[in-house]
Structure 1
Amino acid sequence: MDIKGEQRPIQKVFCDDFVLRVPHYQRPYAWKLENAQELLSDLLAFMGGGSTKVDELPPYFLGSIVLVKDDAWPEAEVIDGQQRLTTLTILLAALRASTGAAFGSDLTKYLYQPGSLVEGTPDQYRLRLRDRDAEFFREFVQAVDGPAKLKALTREIPDAQQRIRENALLFLRELDALPVERRQRLASYLVRRCYLVVVSTPDADSAYRIFSVLNDRGLDLSHADILKADIVGKIDGEALQKAYATKWEEVEEEIGRDAFKDLFGHLRMIHRRAKLEGTVLAEFRKYVVDKAPEPRKLVDDVIVAGAWAYDQIRRCSWDGQSDDATQAKIEELLEWLNRLDNEDWVPPAIRVMQLSADATKVLRHLEALERLAAFLLIKRSNVNERIHRYANVLEAIENGTAIDAGGPLLLSTDEEKQLVDALDGEVYLEQKVRVYVLLRLDRALGDKGAKYDVDTITVEHVLPQNPRDKSEWLTNFPRPEDRAWTHRIGNLLLLPRRKNSEASNWDFGEKKKRYFTSKKGVSTFALTSQVLKESAWTPDVVARRQTEAIDTLKKVWSLK
């Protein structure tokens, strides 16, 4: 492996030695205002405010960049470091625009090498961005009049270009607030005393390996960015590379960068069917990339197809063919799944959504998946138990046996009994369980289209947890066995607001009138409306309500 690494000041990076090009498959420019502000503040702090000669100032290290480059030619493909190189170019352009005509013109050579009329050569830009952003970058940053045009720009532009614009305007504002002499000193400090470690190799595979090692150790790229370089970079032909880089970016933009990053963890589970033991990056490479027939099929059949399914899951939407009733049921089940306190169910859900165009088949699998996920939630199964079960489910989905008799997506007779027993117990004591179960019950009792804002919903006791001495509550619930109903479903209801600890001990009539209803004397929850119809609250009432609630939940989850 022919690798060259050397420390270079910025003036020896943005120079004739390099023609830096960002390839199609790299992620868009993503530095936020706070990142740009931090860089500028750090540079000013390291430079200090004294009169020390620039060449005697402490150096500032900007990290490393990784290039594919042959020593015989200046052309260099940027594998890692394009975010820093782009930001440094923006800062150089802002300094050129704010340090005076004579001084500023001397900075142009770090942005582009002017062409020659005599030699018939065009301007040669030191850094060329991805095709999507290259022309914008030349016109509004690298060109001499670019920053002025950028200030006047009002049209809508893509996110990456908007980040470029925001950071350029930030630099211009911050520099304008400094004395001209300090701006000029900063420009000199930047090009002479700020350093990058330039790692280059003529072999693309070697560059990708270096890139991966550096980023596995904590630099700011996600595994999705690294895998993009791995996968798209290995597609034969520049035109196909460009097309698949565009496809990758469009999918990432459509579902969102964070969700796209999470997708790779879910796809890893689909293929690995075991708990993560290393990193998502390492295991995705081993169990997905290395087993794919070729990179284009990996992008099309695994990543894009997975993103399509994952996006529907997150949006609680079914985009396939179906009648309205089936679509509504699928989307309701996705809504319930998204209310769970974990995402271990997502990989099976992705495979279910990819099963076929048969919406009825998808619905049957989702009904079983939501019931299983609810069982694991209510039983408080730990992460290892959940992953083991879902691994079996994934294998059965691939074999077409997930909902066959005895299939792992179905509950066994014993598991159904465990679920019913748990529902008949002190549900209130598990916060995440109680909200899910009571919302599920409320939907079954009331408006099937009801929407819930879980952040503001609370679960309240009718019989309070700590009734006061000589209260109506102790009259109606005198024995400990009577008060054993306290944390069970029959004694619970939902409120659309935070609890009032003082109100919780009011007598039943006062609670109904002042606490359990809105100003109009009604409740938004079917479960709570039932309580309002009771004239008194006694152990017999709670026992009846408990039986009714359990029977309803049995129907919800098709339990025997």
Structure 2
Amino acid sequence: MNAFKSNIFEYMNGIRQYSIPIYQRVYSWGIEQCQRLWADIVMMQKENHEGHFVGSIVRIDEVSAAGFPKAMIIDGQQRLTTLTLLLIALRDFIKNNNTTTEINAAEITDTLLINSYKRDGDRYKLLLTKTDQEMLKKLIESIAPNRESVSKILSNYEFFERQIAKGDLKADEIYQAIGKLQIVDIALDRQYDDPQAIFESLNSTGIDLKDSDLIRNFILMGLPSGRQEFVYNNVWIHMEELFSYGDKAVLMDNFFRDYLTMKLGRLVNQRDVYKEFKLYRNIYWNTKTEELCRDLLAFAKHYADMDSGESSDVQLKSLYIDLKTIGLGVAYPFLMKTHEDCANNIISVTTLLEIVSICVNYALRRSVCSMRTTGLNYMFAVLKNSINESDYLNSVKAFFILQESSKEFPRDKRFIDEFVTQDVYSKKICRFILCKLETWNGHKIVSLDDLSVEHVFPQKPKASEWGVVQKVLLHTVGNLTLAHWADNSSMSNKPFSDKLTISQGYKQSALRLNEYIVEQSEWGETQINERARRLAELAMKVWPYPMLADKELEPYRKLDDSVTQYTFESYGNSDGFTKILFESLNLRILNLGTVISRVFNKQYVAYKLDTNFADVEVQKQRLHIWVNLRFIEVADPKGICRDVSGIGHLGNGDVEVYLDGLNKLDDVMVIIEQAFRKQNAE
């Protein structure tokens, strides 16, 4: 590696051509970064500064077959492109305005923008990726661009046009200031330098790279130069195109996290995606980078289909929309696995449909029962580890059936009780529930698109009508339906008799939801409860509980460490003092929240929400505690914690602490509560 102090004039004044590798992200600086650069230029000139450092540009030098020097830009595309746009804007201002200046517009073009004696692509000093290069070429060649085009190249050029035209600085001053902008020119040696390692370590002042940017560079930069373009054009670009339905960078970051979670069978934190991906690639794929890219493409197709709600299969498409409506993105890692197994003929499409339906039903029932979503990401991350490929569907059903406590799949009795009594109207999925009840089993004889949720007994009744309905049953499912007039408050607050007979009223409605309603002559507590019961019976069919016979379930029952197997007395090395310590600590931990579950394991007591947040080993005359936090995360005002991240230990987490006296209980709880709060918020 060689590093040189330079500026943009020295850097571009030669015949070397700088190109952006095909795998680099497109030009992404926006107006904010351009404003910062322009402010630096104005300040530098007004305050007569000697110079201003704008960052480094990292390159790998190459030579064409004809001996033409070229360089591939590893880092610095954004600032190099932006400075080029500023030079073009300055050149055009000088050329198009009668202004007194010592700067020659043609000289800017011939020395800093083009190689006059080269043709076609070799003509340009800076060669960007395809879409960006077309716009940059027009600006360099003074070809009028389409001003309606959506292009950061064009919008940033126009920004500099406006700033120069304001006249805060004269053209000569701007040119001088550009020459004072200092860069560090870093040239890598292919034989000795690792471009990717250097790329990762650079502290850019521009827009932070996304995980998807880092992963793309890591994958493609590691390929021989002859294979980079082939893999990008034939595999990688097709994967990126799958995510064009939204914010591509965010969607791809989410995909890579879920892909790793699925492959590794454990939860991968978003902050660790790039680090985890590098380890995964090096351990499991090693020299098979192209095969890894094809694997990514296959799973990206499944992911994008689910997330965008698109499928050629009508039933799958409907289920994908259900997944999105309910908000069950945490199931994507598991469902990507089942989709790929279907593609590989390990399971049938029918089995795939049933598995996706089980996930939807699980989430819907839990939502109706107001159960917490905390920990479901972990549960779905490890679900694939429970699949028995020789008994695929039953093993998935068994997994859900055997979930308990905070992960329980609500059984029929609980679901019915909650479905009838819950305030369904306040739930985000209220309309979804009503529409599904209406259209279940192919029943759809009207369009639901223009229907809104309607209270049969009005939300604003006459004072004489107030009572148990208004106080208890108003927002329950028995009093809710779909109607055309629901946005019209004067209509929706009419008496029940009017709602039956008015135009577009219940009797004119073809909705299944209104079949019971139109049979009634009055509407009150009795009718609401009866209708709720009928809808609950239908809801059990729409969102059924997975069923297995006892003999089918039995192989999947596991003996686990539970309170029936172990108690405090199982830890025989303790004494009376330790029991006092434990009972005091146990009470304080359980008082943190009613959602905490405690499990007496063989070697320690676990306290958990979705996973363990604290594990307590009972020792003679003290308690040995592990807290599920990274050591760098813990706030330890008394200095009582030890970092055990690199040491073998029983419990979960990197933080170890001891309790050997009641006077230290408050200090220990400060540490434990941090892990509880973190897990409770996720």
Same fold (TM over 0.5): yes
CA gap 1:58/1:279 in 2 versus in 1, 3 angstroms: farther
Confirm or deny: 8 A CA contact 2:19 2:73 kept in the other structure: yes
What is the CA–CA distance in structure 1 between the aligned matches of 2:417 and 2:261, rounded to whole Å?
A: 31
Task: Give the corresponding residue for 2:217.
Answer: 229
- Of the candidates 95, 102, 125, which is equivalent to residue 100 of structure 1? 95
What is the CA–CA distance in structure 1 between the aligned matches of 2:340 and 2:491, rounded to whole Å?
A: 50
CA gap 1:505/1:498 in 2 versus in 1, 3 angstroms: closer
Q: Secondary structure at 1:106's aligned position in 2? A: helix
CA gap 1:512/1:338 in 2 versus in 1, 3 angstroms: same
- Of the candidates 211, 230, 235, which is equivalent to residue 243 of structure 1? 230
Q: Within the alignment, does 1:555 sit opposite 2:554 as a pair?
A: no
CA gap 1:461/1:114 in 2 versus in 1, 3 angstroms: same
- Of the candidates 474, 477, 488, which is equivalent to residue 489 of structure 1? 477
CA gap 1:373/1:212 in 2 versus in 1, 3 angstroms: farther
Q: Secondary structure at 2:474's aligned position in 1? A: coil
**Identity within the alignment, %:** 22
Q: Within the alignment, does 1:83 sit opposite 2:73 as a pair?
A: no
Task: Give the corresponding residue for 1:356.
Answer: 342
What is the CA–CA distance in structure 1 between the aligned matches of 2:107 and 2:329, rounded to whole Å?
A: 55
Q: Secondary structure at 2:268's aligned position in 1? A: coil
Task: Give the corresponding residue for 1:65.
Answer: 57
Confirm or deny: 8 A CA contact 2:45 2:177 kept in the other structure: no
Shift of 1:489: 1.3
Q: Secondary structure at 2:222's aligned position in 1? A: coil
Confirm or deny: 8 A CA contact 1:99 1:184 kept in the other structure: no
Q: Secondary structure at 1:281's aligned position in 2? A: helix
Per-residue deviation, residues 474-503 of structure 1 (Å, max 9, x unmatched): 4xxxxx499543332112224568867787
What is the CA–CA distance in structure 1 between the aligned matches of 2:422 and 2:367, rounded to whole Å?
A: 14
What is the CA–CA distance in structure 2 between the aligned matches of 1:343 and 1:152, rounded to whole Å?
A: 40
Q: Within the alignment, does 1:279 sit opposite 2:268 as a pair?
A: no
Aligned residue-pair number: 517
Q: Within the alignment, does 1:112 sit opposite 2:114 as a pair?
A: yes
Task: Give the corresponding residue for 1:443.
Answer: 439
Q: Which runs of 5+ in 2 are unaligned?
A: 63-67, 97-102, 403-407, 548-682
Shift of 1:22: 1.4
Task: Give the corresponding residue for 1:428.
Answer: 424
Shift of 1:96: 1.8
What is the CA–CA distance in structure 2 between the aligned matches of 1:141 and 1:306, rounded to whole Å?
A: 40
Task: Give the corresponding residue for 2:183.
Answer: 196
Q: Which amino acid aligns with 2:289?
A: P
Q: Secondary structure at 1:107's aligned position in 2? A: helix
Task: Give the corresponding residue for 2:362.
Answer: 372
Task: Give the corresponding residue for 2:303.
Answer: 310
CA RMSD of aligned residues (A): 4.2
Task: Give the corresponding residue for 1:323.
Answer: none
Q: Secondary structure at 2:239's aligned position in 1? A: helix
Confirm or deny: 8 A CA contact 1:333 1:370 kept in the other structure: yes
Shift of 1:250: 3.3
Q: Secondary structure at 1:28's aligned position in 2? A: coil
What is the CA–CA distance in structure 1 between the aligned matches of 2:75 and 2:27, rounded to whole Å?
A: 12
Task: Give the corresponding residue for 1:341.
Answer: 327
Q: Which amino acid aligns with 2:80?
A: L
Q: Secondary structure at 2:223's aligned position in 1? A: coil
What is the CA–CA distance in structure 2 between the aligned matches of 1:179 and 1:421, rounded to whole Å?
A: 73
Confirm or deny: 8 A CA contact 2:420 2:476 kept in the other structure: yes
CA gap 1:49/1:202 in 2 versus in 1, 3 angstroms: closer
Per-residue deviation, residues 105-138 of structure 1 (Å, max 9, x unmatched): 232312234449xxx9x976432224x3587367
Confirm or deny: 8 A CA contact 1:59 1:194 kept in the other structure: yes
Q: Aligned runs of 1:127-142 on 2, under 5 Å?
A: 127-130=126-129, 132=130, 136=134, 139-142=137-140
What is the CA–CA distance in structure 2 between the aligned matches of 1:77 and 1:287, rounded to whole Å?
A: 28
What is the CA–CA distance in structure 2 between the aligned matches of 1:452 and 1:84, rounded to whole Å?
A: 52
What is the CA–CA distance in structure 2 between the aligned matches of 1:451 and 1:287, rounded to whole Å?
A: 48
What is the CA–CA distance in structure 1 between the aligned matches of 2:205 and 2:421, rounded to whole Å?
A: 48
CA gap 1:407/1:297 in 2 versus in 1, 3 angstroms: same
What is the CA–CA distance in structure 1 between the aligned matches of 2:52 and 2:501, rounded to whole Å?
A: 69
Per-residue deviation, residues 491-539 of structure 1 (Å, max 9, x unmatched): 222456886778776533356678xx75999669653576456431122
TM-score by length of 2: 0.65
TM-score by length of 1: 0.77
Q: Which amino acid aligns with 1:103?
A: N
What is the CA–CA distance in structure 2 between the aligned matches of 1:51 and 1:235, rounded to whole Å?
A: 45
Q: Within the alignment, does 1:25 sit opposite 2:23 as a pair?
A: yes
What is the CA–CA distance in structure 1 between the aligned matches of 2:309 and 2:302, rounded to whole Å?
A: 10
What is the CA–CA distance in structure 1 between the aligned matches of 2:261 and 2:506, rounded to whole Å?
A: 50
Q: Secondary structure at 2:393's aligned position in 1? A: coil
What is the CA–CA distance in structure 1 between the aligned matches of 2:88 and 2:268, rounded to whole Å?
A: 45
What is the CA–CA distance in structure 1 between the aligned matches of 2:382 and 2:189, rounded to whole Å?
A: 45
Q: Secondary structure at 1:537's aligned position in 2? A: coil
Task: Give the corresponding residue for 1:14.
Answer: 12
What is the CA–CA distance in structure 2 between the aligned matches of 1:67 and 1:555, rounded to whole Å?
A: 63
Q: Within the alignment, does 1:292 sit opposite 2:292 as a pair?
A: no
What is the CA–CA distance in structure 1 between the aligned matches of 2:510 and 2:202, rounded to whole Å?
A: 54
Q: Secondary structure at 1:77's aligned position in 2? A: strand
Moved more, 427-436 or 328-337: 427-436
Give the structure, 1 or 2, with the largest relative contact order (CA under 8 Å, sep 6 or more).
1
Q: Secondary structure at 1:177's aligned position in 2? A: helix
What is the CA–CA distance in structure 2 between the aligned matches of 1:241 and 1:524, rounded to whole Å?
A: 60
Q: Secondary structure at 1:431's aligned position in 2? A: coil
Shift of 1:231: 0.6
Confirm or deny: 8 A CA contact 1:393 1:402 kept in the other structure: no
What is the CA–CA distance in structure 2 between the aligned matches of 1:114 and 1:374, rounded to whole Å?
A: 67
What is the CA–CA distance in structure 2 between the aligned matches of 1:523 and 1:75, rounded to whole Å?
A: 73
CA gap 1:482/1:76 in 2 versus in 1, 3 angstroms: closer
Task: Give the corresponding residue for 1:463.
Answer: 457
Per-residue deviation, residues 298-357 of structure 1 (Å, max 9, x unmatched): 1001x11112112222343334xxxxxxx3222211111111234112222322322224
